[in-house]
Structure 1
């Protein structure tokens, strides 16, 4: 029995397990613990592919498992978080509360993105559209930003139902938009070939240090805008 071939799939299932735990924490309105378990799931999601390549045991089963696990951790969880933000103190089955179900558009967009990713041969070294883990981190940072900024412009903005619905729609669009995003992979250990990635990672670290959970959202926005800017420059 080749144990090595099962290690990547086990790591993938642990990613799924983290997503399940995150869902429980969201139901308890413990968004911080949900955020940390999604982060752990994303961390495991990186290493399942790493070990599959290391042990040379990549398989179609592993590819499908990976997408199914991501569907929960980076698809269902952020959709549920958006639902909880939209529903607030309302009865979800009241006329006002039923709007909150539109938060699951995030989940639908994530599902389409993951299915399309499996058959899109253009996304081997870089991404087209925002990856679901990045989108999940953006959505899960929102309730934590709200709890950090209990008053002021940022709190009012993220407390507005129309703003949240707008973020939901934009989120689903960005996941599947034909927008090339630069790769964060560092293939050669020198600054010249990885200047963009290194500068981005250093700025991201500074944003996390100074802005905490708000920094997470700013990093994702910065990543998309920088990619769009780089695409525009390259076209010219």
Structure 2
């Protein structure tokens, strides 16, 4: 007599069972899940008025979400499932969590415009991530153009948009209604930078000379120590320096484009500015 239910086919009709998946394949996805937990925990802490811890959790989420893909490539554990999960986590950690924490702390002082600014930032982050996924699959881009992001990357946007919070923690800004409206404008500006065509140097192809490795390691260690000891001062200075870097990156891109155009035209002389 046939049974009323069909037999269960585990993991895609005879594919590898869960117990057959190596641990190294799970680690990147575990980091992604931890990043989501940190980001959403930051939102909860913000609603509980524990803002400093909330900001730290959002920054931890951004850090974890930024390294999970690199960990997967190092361990040779990349997968379509991991890529899709990472993309879905990005919108939470880089868009939703920073926007809600910023709204709970400062943007709500501006009323409805503050909520509109938070929504615009979250939407811009989603659009930015979607465009990144499309451009990442674009095989027609010149090799040198791959050295630049199109628009401010989402992880940087998440750190930059919380600059008003860092300044309030430092006592440089007093949170009130006027500051709330100024923060609205800043949030919309960062949202625009996310979806803009601004070329931002990625630094992916930077190679450290052998005789500069130790100074670079020392410099990174110094930055981490400053970040731990003076977190809000270090973050504020870093964000301001990054904003100053953006027009310099655009100018470097324009010069490189002229140089490549000159090479394509058969001359080694770059086009004059």
Q: Smaller-chain TM-score range? A: 0.7 to 0.9
Report the CA distance shift for 1:163/1:204 in structure 2 as closer, same or farther (over 3 A): farther
Report the CA distance shift for 1:210/1:54 in structure 2 as closer, same or farther (over 3 A): closer
Name 2:98's counterpart in structure 1.
Answer: 78
Name 2:27's counterpart in structure 1.
Answer: 7
RMSD: 3.3
Report the CA distance shift for 1:58/1:210 in structure 2 as closer, same or farther (over 3 A): closer
In the alignment, structure 1 segments of 5+ residues that lack a partner are 89-95
Between the two structures, name the one with larger relative contact order (CA 8 Å, sep ≥ 6): 1
**1:13 Cα deviation from its structure 2 partner:** 1.1
Name 1:26's counterpart in structure 2.
Answer: 46
Larger Rg: 2
Alpha-carbon displacement from aligned partner over 1:44-87 (angstroms, at most 9, x marks no partner):
22331122112222122222211211211111111112322122
Alpha-carbon displacement from aligned partner over 1:93-147 (angstroms, at most 9, x marks no partner):
xxx7333311221111111111111111368544221122222222334224213
Q: Does 1:65 align with 2:85?
A: yes
Deviates more, 1:20-29 or 1:213-222: 213-222
Distance, in Å, in 2 between the alignment partners of 1:180 and 1:223 is 13
Alignment of 1:1-236 (within 5 A): 1-3=20-22, 4-84=24-104, 85-88=106-109, 97-102=111-116, 103-121=118-136, 125-149=147-171, 154-155=173-174, 160-185=179-204, 187-190=206-209, 212-233=231-252, 235=255, 236=273
Distance, in Å, in 2 between the alignment partners of 1:193 and 1:179 is 31
Q: Secondary structure at the match of 1:56?
A: coil
Deviates more, 1:133-142 or 1:6-15: 133-142
Contact 1:23 1:77 (8 Å CA) reproduced = yes
Report the CA distance shift for 1:175/1:229 in structure 2 as closer, same or farther (over 3 A): same
In the alignment, structure 2 segments of 5+ residues that lack a partner are 1-19, 256-272
Report the CA distance shift for 1:115/1:34 in structure 2 as closer, same or farther (over 3 A): same
Q: Secondary structure at the match of 1:79?
A: helix
**1:186 Cα deviation from its structure 2 partner:** 6.7
* Matched positions, count: 223
Distance, in Å, in 1 between the alignment partners of 2:174 and 2:231 is 15
